């Protein structure tokens, strides 16, 4: 058998065929789905159920606002992210898990017994099985336990799984309780240790504070650093007061000298003494001023009635001059008093300056000694403050220990509950997933088999004249309203009319022989009034020149003349990519082309049992391809949509397709041809051609070509390559 390799033809996946192939094998797909689902259900039923429960713990500061120690001003270090992460390791420690295992006697449960290896099983046949050790139980608990921190929170989750739902609930709660108890015990132990240490330190600090205060008092007495007001040294305080008094004395002296200088300047220049405040403030001057005002008033009154030389006026003016003289004398006295006051202030200033110098020397000595005194006082104050802080902490620690008030920075806010259903295995989801997997595996397996066998592939349409023929629709039945197919009019044949005979003239036994070929034959359009017996080579030229893509060849004689084979080989000899479809069920043409009798063919492709690559064979005597009828000879139950799809694929892949109908009735074949197909009757005798032409005319095709087969030599049977 000469099968055409797949790479020689352009093919594409036939989606329709794949869907039909899966549908034909739907029972296999269903059985595979049920088998996978049933197997998964059986496995899930055999696996012991595993239950899981969880306890949630929040890490937070549980110290009350009213009981928080005064020394704890900031946030607790146990609330940091690193501290929360470290709690996970504490909960999974072997000590906590060991206590929980002993509490529930997990070593007696078969669930926590290690799975023995083959060697262990052999040894235990000789030696008695030993009791499960605590280390093995803890290791198994580690596998079943999962402690983690929720992201971006201070919540710790304790998950535990077990075949016993009650144990899955009790173990995480017990781990949380044991963790909190251990944390509180650690706080109590730390508080007790701190109380004992503080008690010893307080006793030592009391002695240290007493000694430091004694040193301060002794140094103050020995250095004569008496303390005055505002806790300052007496010498320093006296120096400050003396400086203030000296400043006041100097100010008083300067003021007295200034007032005396102003009065002296007024007397010297003869100016009025009214501008001096000290003169106006003298009682004598004030009395004289009043007398002066009275005299001036009387002079003014008398001047209106008396003349200026009147004795009374002259007496009053003389008294007025005496009062001015007395005021000037009183100003001299005030000046002398101010000068005396200035001298007294000057003497006091000198005395204060001398005392100031002495106090400076004394304050300098006291300052150097005060440095040492402040150092001793600071030491004493530091010891005293430390003692006070230790006393405060000691009292708080003793009070908390006595009342057992040591809150842990963690609490359980969600306890584990009894699980209602196992978390593994989930029978329904696993069974459904297994069923889907079985369905997909079976479908994919069928698709792979169909594609790699070639049955799921179809040839691609070629592009002609710039148009993608793959988009062209499949040929349909183009019968007219009368049920007749249109006659092709585009085919031209050579004018070898010398051998032509009329279908209605001549002897019925005269052979239809082709006329001798002319050197330059003229091409005449087919005339429905005459029948021209055309040689296969001339017909091949006419087909190629006219662009006909499909030719139906019907045998007129009872015995096969292989007219279709002669035409397709003539087309192949002229370089055309041609294929022949053998509709004969006698396998005569198949044997003539070297195709085995049991080869797949058209019927197998239509019912989906084979792919396109399985039905393509190469003619051993030419480059033409052959597609035989196939194994199914009755043709019942065909999918005619797939039949037309096959014709469309062949029309797109080949230059010309020759349909060899053999001696089959023409009416059954005309329905699959389009309006551009040519119909040819292969005959060697007039009588047989006339009968076949009459049959075609009755079927609605009165105009058909006649091809002579007298010169065609029947091909010999050849062996398949």
Which domain CATH number covers 608?
3.40.50.300
The helix (run of H) or strand (run of E) holding residue 56 is strand 51-58
CB environment 308-318: b (16+ within 10 A), e (fewer): eeeeebeebee
Residue with the bigger pLDDT between 275 and 351: it is 351
Which residue segment(s) compose the domain that 447 sits in?
Answer: 14-47+426-457
Distance separating alpha carbons of residues 654 and 551, to the nearest angstrom: 12
Does the bond joining 425 to the residue before it have cis omega, within 30 degrees of 0? yes
Asked if residue 660 is part of any domain, the answer here is yes
Give pLDDT, residue 529. 39
pLDDT at residue 719, as a whole number: 43
Mark residue 231 as left, alpha or beta (left: phi above 0; alpha: psi -120 to 50; beta: remaining): left
Do 618 and 650 fall within a single domain? yes
Q: Are residues 532 and 576 in the same domain?
A: yes
Cβ burial, residue 514 (10 Å; 0-12/13-18/19+): buried
Same domain, 436 and 394: no
Whether residue 534 sits in one domain with residue 386: no
Which range, 150-159, 292-301, 557-566, 650-659, has the best average confidence (pLDDT)?
150-159
User: What is the average pLDDT across 512-529?
Assistant: 34
CB 618 within 8 A of CB 4: yes
Distance of CA 89 to the CA centre of its chain: 30
Decide if 628 contacts 601 (C-beta within 8 A).
yes
Is 199 a member of any domain? Answer: no
- At 434 the pLDDT is 94
- What is the rounded CA–CA span in Å between residue 608 and residue 628? 16
Task: Measure Cα distances from 412 to 57, 92, 146, 175, 180 in Å.
Answer: 4, 16, 17, 11, 9
Helices then strands, each counted (H, E), the chain? 18, 18
Q: Is residue 550 domain-resident? A: yes
What pLDDT, on a 0 to 100 scale, did the predictor assign at position 440? 95
Question: Which pLDDT band, with edges at 50, 70 and 90, does 685 fall under?
Answer: low
CA–CA separation, 594 vs 567, rounded Å?
A: 17
Specify the number of domains making up the chain: 3
Whole-angstrom CA distances from 368 to 218, 231, 374, 608 are 16, 17, 10, 121
pLDDT at 51: 93
Domain assignment present for residue 279? The answer is yes
Select from 3, 165, 20 the least CA-distant residue to 645: 20
The whole-number average pLDDT for the span 570-598 is 83
Label residue 510 by pLDDT band (50, 70, 90).
very low
User: Which domain-ending residue is among 370, 402, 434?
Assistant: 402
User: Exposed e or buried b for every residue in 362-399, given b needs 16+ CB within 10 A?
Assistant: bbeebeeebeebeebbebbeebbeebeebeebbebbee
Cβ atoms 260, 331 nearer than 8 A: no
Domain for residue 197, yes or no?
A: no
pLDDT for residue 720 is more than 70:
no
Residues 270 and 319 in one domain: yes
In tens, the pLDDT along 51-102 reads: 999 999 999 888 776 676 655 544 455 678 888 888 999 999 999 999 999 9
Alpha carbons 79 and 696: distance in angstroms, whole number: 101
Rounded-to-integer distance, Cα 46 and Cα 422, Å: 14
- Is 601 in the same domain as 669? yes
Looking at the structure, do residues 331 and 442 belong to the same domain, yes or no?
Answer: no
| Distance from C-alpha of 39 to C-alpha of 327, rounded to nearest angstrom | 144
Query: Considering the domain boundaries, does residue 713 fall inside one?
Result: no
Non-local (6+) Cβ contacts of 544 within 8 A are: 571, 574, 576, 655, 656
* Domain assignment of residue 22, yes or no: yes
Statement: residue 380 has pLDDT above 60: yes
Residues 449 and 552 both lie in one domain: no
Instruction: Kindly state whether residues 702 and 622 are assigned to the same domain.
Output: yes
Same domain, 567 and 664: yes
290 plus 380 within the same structural domain: yes
Cα separation values, 40 from 33, 191, 318, 443, 445, Å: 11, 59, 153, 19, 20
Asked whether residue 274 carries a pLDDT value surpassing 70, the answer given is no
Q: Two tokens at 127?
A: 């030696």
How much is the average pLDDT of 339-364?
79
- Establish if 696 belongs to a structural domain: yes
User: Do residues 378 and 433 both lie within one domain?
Assistant: no
* pLDDT score for 39: 94
Classify each residue of 145-163 as buried b or exposed e, where b means 16 or more C-beta atoms within 10 Å of its C-beta: bebebeeeebbbbbbbbbe
Q: Which of 68-77, 666-675, 676-685 has the lowest mean pLDDT?
A: 68-77
681-682-688-694 Cα dihedral, nearest 10 degrees: 0
């Amino acid at each position: 058998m000469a099968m055409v390799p797949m790479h020689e033809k352009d093919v594409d996946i036939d989606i329709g065929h794949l869907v039909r192939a899966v549908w034909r094998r739907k029972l296999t797909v269903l059985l595979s789905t049920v088998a996978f689902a049933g197997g998964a259900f059986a496995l899930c039923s055999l696996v012991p159920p595993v239950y899981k429960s969880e306890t949630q713990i929040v890490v937070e500061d549980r110290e009350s606002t009213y009981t928080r120690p005064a020394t704890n001003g900031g946030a607790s270090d146990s609330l940091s992210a690193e501290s929360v992460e470290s709690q996970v390791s504490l909960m999974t420690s072997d000590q906590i898990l060991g206590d929980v295992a002993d509490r529930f006697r997990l070593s007696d449960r078969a669930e926590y017994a290690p799975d023995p290896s083959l060697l262990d099983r052999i040894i235990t046949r000789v030696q008695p099985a030993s009791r499960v050790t605590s280390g093995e139980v803890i290791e198994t608990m580690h596998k079943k336990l999962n402690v983690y921190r929720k992201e971006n929170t201070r919540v710790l989750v304790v998950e535990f799984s077990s075949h016993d739902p009650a144990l899955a609930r009790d173990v995480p709660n017990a781990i949380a309780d044991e963790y909190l108890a251990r944390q509180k015990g650690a706080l109590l132990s730390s508080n007790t240790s701190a109380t004992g240490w503080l008690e010893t330190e307080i006793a030592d600090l009391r002695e240290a504070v007493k000694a430091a205060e004694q040193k301060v008092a002794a140094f103050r007495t020995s250095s004569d650093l008496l303390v005055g007001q505002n806790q300052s040294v007496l010498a320093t305080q006296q120096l400050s007061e003396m400086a203030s008094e000296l400043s006041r004395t100097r100010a008083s002296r300067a003021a007295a000298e200034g007032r005396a200088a102003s009065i002296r300047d007024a007397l010297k220049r003869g100016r009025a003494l009214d501008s001096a405040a000290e003169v106006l403030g003298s009682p004598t001057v004030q009395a004289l001023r009043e007398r002066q005002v009275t005299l001036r008033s009387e002079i003014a009154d008398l001047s209106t009635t008396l003349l200026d030389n009147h004795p009374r006026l002259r007496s009053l003016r003389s008294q007025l001059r005496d009062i001015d003289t007395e005021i000037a004398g009183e100003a001299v006295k005030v000046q002398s008093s101010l000068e005396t006051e200035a001298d007294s202030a000057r003497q006091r200033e000198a005395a204060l300056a001398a005392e100031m110098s002495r106090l400076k020397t004394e304050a300098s000595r006291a300052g150097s000694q005060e440095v040492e005194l402040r150092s001793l006082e600071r030491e004493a104050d530091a010891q005293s403050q430390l003692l006070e802080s230790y006393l405060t902490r000691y009292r708080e620690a003793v009070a908390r220990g006595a009342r057992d008030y040591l809150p842990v920075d963690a609490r359980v806010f969600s306890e584990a509950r009894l699980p209602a259903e196992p978390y593994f295995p989930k029978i329904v989801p696993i069974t459904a997933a297994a069923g889907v997997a079985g369905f997909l595996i079976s479908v994919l397996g069928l698709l792979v088999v169909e594609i790699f066998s070639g049955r799921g592939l179809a040839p691609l349409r070629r592009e002609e004249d710039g148009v993608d023929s793959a988009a062209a629709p499949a040929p349909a039945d183009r019968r007219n309203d009368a049920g007749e197919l249109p006659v092709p009019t585009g085919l031209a044949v050579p004018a070898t009319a010398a051998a032509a005979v009329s279908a209605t003239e001549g002897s019925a036994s005269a052979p239809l022989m082709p006329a001798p070929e002319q050197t330059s034959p003229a091409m005449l359009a087919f005339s429905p009034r005459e029948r021209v017996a055309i040689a296969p080579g001339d017909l091949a030229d006419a087909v190629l020149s006219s662009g006909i893509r499909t030719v139906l060849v019907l045998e007129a004689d009872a015995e096969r003349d292989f007219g279709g084979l002669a035409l397709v080989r003539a087309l192949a000899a002229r370089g055309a990519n041609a294929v022949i479809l053998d509709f004969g069920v006698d396998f005569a043409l198949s044997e003539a082309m070297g195709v085995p009798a049991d080869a797949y063919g058209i019927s197998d492709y239509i019912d989906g049992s084979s792919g396109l690559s399985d039905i393509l064979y190469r003619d051993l005597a030419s480059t033409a391809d052959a597609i035989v009828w196939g194994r199914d000879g009755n043709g019942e139950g065909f999918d005619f949509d797939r039949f037309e799809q096959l014709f469309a694929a062949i029309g797109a892949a080949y230059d010309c397709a020759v349909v060899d109908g053999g001696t089959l009735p023409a009416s059954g074949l005309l329905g699959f041809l389009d309006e551009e197909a040519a119909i040819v009757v292969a005959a060697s005798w007039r009588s047989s051609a006339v009968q076949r032409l009459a049959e075609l005319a009755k079927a609605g095709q009165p105009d058909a070509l006649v091809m002579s087969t007298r010169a065609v030599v029947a091909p010999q049977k050849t062996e398949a390559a």
